[in-house]
Amino acid sequence: MCKYMYVQLGVAIGFLLPTMIVKNHDNLDDIGQDLSVMYYSVAGFTTVLLVLIVLCKYNKVTTLTNYTKQMQSHHHCMS
């Protein structure tokens, strides 16, 4: 799938989801409650993504560090 397809998909979701979550109400408090649900769900989703990115990045760094240490000790033993 082309990278531009992901951009188009993101824009389409960005237009679709808010209209599905925030309904037209006569009472402004109900609209505010819908907006709260939308903002808290986006905040929760992005927090989960951040945690996953940090965990994957940390795991990758420690794996590379361990690999480097193993290679250095292996090279030192061979000298």
Q: Tell me the DSSP string of the chain.
A: --HHHHHHHHHHHHHHHHHHHS---SSHHHHHHHHHHHHHHHHHHHHHHHHHHHHHHHHHHHHHHHHHHHHHHHHHHH-
Whether 2 shows a pLDDT value over 80: the answer reads no
- Ordered by start, the domain boundaries in the chain are 3-78
pLDDT digit string, tens, across residues 39-75? 999 999 999 999 998 888 777 666 666 666 666 666 5
What φ, ψ does residue 47 adopt, rounded to 5°? -65, -45
Predicted TM-score (pTM) of the model is 0.62
**Contact status, residue 21 vs residue 37, Cβ threshold 8 Å:** yes
Percent of the chain past pLDDT 70, that is, above it, reads 72
